[in-house]
Chains A and B, each alone.
Chain A
Amino acid sequence: MDVSLALAERTLLAPGGLSVGDLDRVFARVMAPSIDAADLYFQHSRSESWVLEDGIVRDGSHSIEQGVGVRAISGDRTGFAYSDDIVLPQLLEAAGAARAIAHDGKGMGKPLALCGVRALYPPDDPIDALDNAAKIALLRELDVLARSLDPRIKQVIVGMNATHDSVLVAAADGTLAADVRPLTRINVQVIAEQGTRRESGYSGGGGRCAYRELIDSGRAHAWAREAVRQALVNLEAVAAPAGTMDVVLGPGWPGVLLHEAVGHGLEGDFNRKGTSAFAGRMGDKVAAEGVTVVDDGTLPGRRGSLSVDDEGTPTHCTTLIEDGRLVGYMQDKHNARLMGMQPTGNGRRESFAHLPMPRMTNTCMLAGQRDPAEIIASVERGLYAVNFGGGQVDITNGKFVFSANEAYLIEHGKVTRPVRGATLIGSGPDVLTRVAMVGNDLKLDEGVGVCGKDGQSVPVGVGMPTTKIAAVTVGGTAA
């Protein structure tokens, strides 16, 4: 017996008096000659968060969400309904609403067969795994640590949150899969003041693991130090330059470039509809030689990883760009079927109340050969950007932006002064063709990413080695 399935059945179906055997009745209601595909997505999600501010653990909250989403697909039409009550009558009602979109299709279903899931994380509930007193103690410790590092630190906000998500997917194509997903995160934000100057620093991370892993490994304390370091660097920062110059991206989180510049444009739905700047460019050269980009949902314990996606497909490591050529899209079942391709384990949804669509997991550029020091030394005048806030892309014209919150000038091959927040802007199909050097220091981010698409948020990861890109537009204010 699959452990995740047993846990999911107990959490999701048993309370409403249901078993996997009852799901056939629901499919019998959904499936009609005109329905091509249908699925049920049961979810129980429990989460908590704690906040320390002004030295006081002032707020704690706990929430529970559960329900079932029913989707029926006929040709390229999708009908969707959901219920927060997981009992048979409600399920049948939602099924009836979802199937109302039918017009023509094949309407064949297969008996449910359990898909063996390779677990990328433990199923344990991270909320109960650490007692509340220990959480409070950690928050206080990080607050005291951050304040002790420098007298200019005037405000410290520490947050920790965890989610325990149990899902069960059953589809008319016979898919039956369960997944129990932990997710934890710890954040530290500080404000530093010097005279009238005020700057913030932020750090944090997490993953599909217990809080203990983040604490015992020393990572939580390192984030407190990192937030302070960043705020103090920013106190010294000068205005960022404006104009086009060489940019060196540091390793790790700057991989958000890949997410915005190429990732979204390679999601199957936009390419099926022909609305992506990458549509119809399979096999084309879209990056410099030596640039390989993958979307890897199989990295153990990572924030963007899933043992199976939200349609029950095991996640993959999908190569998107290989040595500069476009070789793959990220697919969910629906778009893969309509494009005559295979699903890649990228079908994700925010919750049972949302429709799945192709989404990224952990998007990374693979390491190259260069020594990072050599990369920086090669730049006469440019920008070294090591940390970023968020980004955004227009997938149709390919224009993307992302904003640096820690960056430095490079002058005569040396990293010199820090500069204040600058936004970088470029064009997705073009920017990777200008990758001039790729470092040997691939690093994954700390585990903070949230990706938004069509109003749905999902956790994601990114990674990249130190990378030099020629002629990027930097949106500062200094000449």
Chain B
Amino acid sequence: MDTSIVTADDSVAELDRLAELAEDVIRRARSAGATQAEVSASVASGLSVNVRLGEVETVERNRDRGFGLTVYFGQRKGSASTADLKPDSVEATLAQACAIARYTEPDPCTGLADAGLMQTRFPDLDLWHPWGIDVDGAIAIGREVESTARDNAAITNSEGASVQCGDALGVYANSHGFVGRERGTHHSVACSLIAGKGDAMQRDGWYEYVRDAGDFPPFDAIGRKAAERAAARLGARRLSTRECPVLFAPEVARSLVGHLVSAASGGSLYRRASFLLDHAGKPLLPDFVDIVESPLLPRGHASGAFDAEGVATRESALVEGGVLRRYVLGSYSARKLGLQTTGNAGGVHNLVVKPGSIDGAAADQPAMLEDMGTGLLVTDLMGQGVSIVTGDYSRGAAGFWIENGEIAYPVEEITIAGNLRDMFMDLRAIGADVDPRSSILTGSILVGKMTVAGE
């Protein structure tokens, strides 16, 4: 069966076609009177297979295209997009963007990023590794992962195992003459299991997410880990309301760094909707904390030589010695704030959180548990109870109660609450147990004290 995944040779030609289309539309926008214009065009394709209880459940093929155009008539802006690349659709998109720009109002901060900031070097970041897997091959992997998981005696049911592979091609071009081509692959293997029966049922699982299928751990190990996580939740209890230290496991710790990024983002700042307003250059975390943006990491999940405006990305500290060194800005928010863009239009390109602790020692999770002594290990967070405006934090949690550095029993149906500003200042340690599945690369994070609400 043909999996219709773009092959390496096709991808270069396809990127050239996208670039040609983008440049052509920019030319046409200029002749329609636009003073500036920018285009994003993309093609993504993939295969997704789900296996449940040993049987194939779904086989999905996807091929998604996108074309987005923004035109500027002086300080007025209009945008339009379409989900196919047919000439008629692209032509209509141009007309719609121009029509909208007739109604939007002049905004002195609008426009492309400055021409001098455009990236000129395009190193190979090792992001392109098509996985030539066919449907039968994907099914076989799904079956192996799930059946290994179901070998665990605690597993009573399954939500199935999924195997996905995908590749994405993208071009960003603008009327400065910048044309950036990007191509990348992402593949995943996931499994979700049920342990226990009736009222005692618990669900958990595991997934792996890689650029190159060769980087997957052995598939049976993924199944085993997924099953162990579900089984470990059996017999979960509630806790009484209390204050205690909280250790965020790596798979949830990155959300804390994500909240920091949201609050330091230009959009939150110029809207005055951030608890980090006027905080650049000030201490935010204990002085052992360093967070560095590393856009050129080989095989990094968010690696890229340029941002969503073509601006060159560069390695740069976000937090150094606990001090918030800078904000996270694109050119629009930078102009609103009277600052320079930090090459973060569209977000951050990999954040590396350096392990460390108040007492200087870097550690893995068991050592951090020992260090914490008695407290809560959180492995799952629920809900959206985080305010970036005030820093108020209150989320549902599940995990394990820790006594004398060891797991005493699993816990559920509790909340953990605090204020992000206090929580950041109260960081005690960052583990060396880095979770590689995300563009935020952090280990476990220990917070000195939070309020746990329960029975």
Contact = CB atoms under 8 A, between A and B. Distances in A.
Contact of A403 (B104, B273, B384, B452): B384
Interface stretch (A29-37, A289-297, A309-317, A468-476): A468-476
Looking at B58, B64, B194, the one whose CB has the most chain A CB atoms below 10 A away is B58
B394 A422 contact: yes
Nearest to B332: A58
A475 B416 contact: yes
Contacts of B316: none
B455 interface: yes
Given A78-B58, A473-B453, A58 B77 contact: yes
A425 B238 CA distance: 11
Nearest to A280: B198
B264 interface: no
A391 B453 contact: no
B92 interface: yes
A33 to B, nearest CB: 18
A154 B104 contact: no
A274 B416 CA distance: 30
Contacts of A420: 390, 392
Contacts of B81: 61-64
Given A157-B271, A389-B384, A423-B383, 9 more contacts: A77-B58, A83-B63, A84-B83, A242-B415, A275-B157, A392-B396, A397-B203, A401-B383, A423-B394
Contact of B135 (A62, A100, A429): A100
Contact of B417 (A79, A135, A242, A427): A242
Interface stretch (B31-39, B95-103, B221-229): B95-103
A475 B104 contact: no
Nearest to B238: A473
Interface residues of B, number: 80
Interface stretch (B22-30, B49-57, B301-309): B49-57
B154 interface: no
Given A423-B394, A476-B417, A477-B451, A82 B62 contact: yes
A101 B83 contact: no
A58 B414 CA distance: 43
Interface stretch (A159-167, A173-181, A193-201, A247-255): A193-201
A392 B99 CA distance: 40
Q: Is the interface of A mostly helix, strand, loop or mixed?
A: strand
Nearest to B4: A97
B454 interface: yes
A133 interface: yes
A425 B414 contact: yes
Contact of A423 (B57, B62, B336, B396): B396
B385 A389 contact: yes
A421 interface: yes
Interface string A41-59: 0000000000001101111
A87 B84 CA distance: 14
B164 to A, nearest CB: 11
A: interface residue count bin: 35 or more
Nearest to B84: A84
14 contacts: A57-B105, A61-B78, A80-B61, A84-B65, A84-B83, A97-B61, A244-B454, A275-B201, A277-B199, A396-B201, A400-B382, A402-B383, A403-B385, A425-B382
A62 B96 contact: yes
A353 interface: yes
Interface in A420-479: 420-423, 425-427, 429, 473-477
Contacts of B135: 100
Interface of B: 1, 52, 55-65, 77-84, 86, 89, 92-93, 96-97, 99-107, 110, 135, 157, 159, 194, 199, 201-203, 233, 236, 241, 270-273, 275, 277, 336, 382-385, 387, 389-390, 392, 394-396, 398, 412-419, 451-455
Interface in A366-421: 389-397, 399-403, 420-421
A243 B385 CA distance: 16
Give the top 8 A-B pairs by smallest Cβ distance, nearest first: A475-B415, A401-B396, A396-B203, A401-B383, A403-B385, A423-B385, A61-B79, A60-B100
A243 B201 CA distance: 25
A155 interface: yes
A132 interface: yes
Contact of A58 (B52, B104, B241): B104
Nearest to B97: A62
A473 B415 contact: yes
Contacts of A397: 201-203, 233, 236, 412
A59 B110 CA distance: 10
A243 B106 CA distance: 51
A397 B230 CA distance: 11
Contacts of A81: 60-61
B34 to A, nearest CB: 14
B385 A473 contact: no
Contacts of B384: 389-392, 403
Contacts of A76: 55, 57
A273 B52 contact: yes
A193 B272 contact: yes
Contact of B394 (A59, A193, A277, A475): A475
A473 B390 CA distance: 22
